[in-house]
């Protein structure tokens, strides 16, 4: 629910009352990825929805999904999707 805010693994582990390493290990065992990987992929999925369904600039989308640094957002987006956010938007079927 708060994916657009600055979230750290320490914050999550404190929130649920578990050791950071233990939380990450049970999360990875259950979903096959770390909390950090999951959060990045979740944010990119939300960004894809915004790229597909709005005309917001990439910088605004970056901020709205929790990446105040647009360059970092673009790097993470490209690592996960294989294309930049701008390229992704250009390739959306009309």
Classify residue 1: in a domain, yes or no: no
State the Cα–Cα distance between residues 43 and 62, nearest whole angstrom: 9
Taking residues 9-22, what's their average pLDDT? Answer: 92
Classify residue 31: in a domain, yes or no: yes
Classify residue 79: in a domain, yes or no: yes
What is the CA angle 87-83-8, rounded to 5? 115
- Give how many domains the chain has, as a whole number: 1
pLDDT bucket at 4, cuts 50 / 70 / 90: confident
> pLDDT (tens digit, 9 = 90+) per residue, 30-77?
999 999 999 999 999 999 999 999 999 999 999 999 999 999 999 999
Two structure tokens written together for 34: 């770390």
Classify residue 2: in a domain, yes or no: no
* pTM of the predicted protein model: 0.87
* Residue 20: count of CB within 10 angstroms of its CB: 15
CATH (domain of 69): 1.10.10.60
């Amino acid at each position: 629910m708060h994916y657009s805010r600055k979230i750290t693994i320490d914050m999550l582990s404190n929130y649920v009352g578990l050791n950071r390493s233990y939380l990450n290990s049970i999360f990875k065992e259950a979903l096959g990825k770390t909390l950090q990987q999951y959060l990045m992929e979740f944010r990119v999925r939300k960004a894809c929805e915004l790229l597909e369904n709005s005309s917001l600039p990439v910088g605004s989308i970056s901020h709205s999904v929790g990446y105040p640094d647009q360059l970092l957002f673009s790097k993470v987006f490209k690592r996960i999707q294989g294309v930049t956010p701008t390229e992704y938007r250009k390739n959306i079927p009309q």
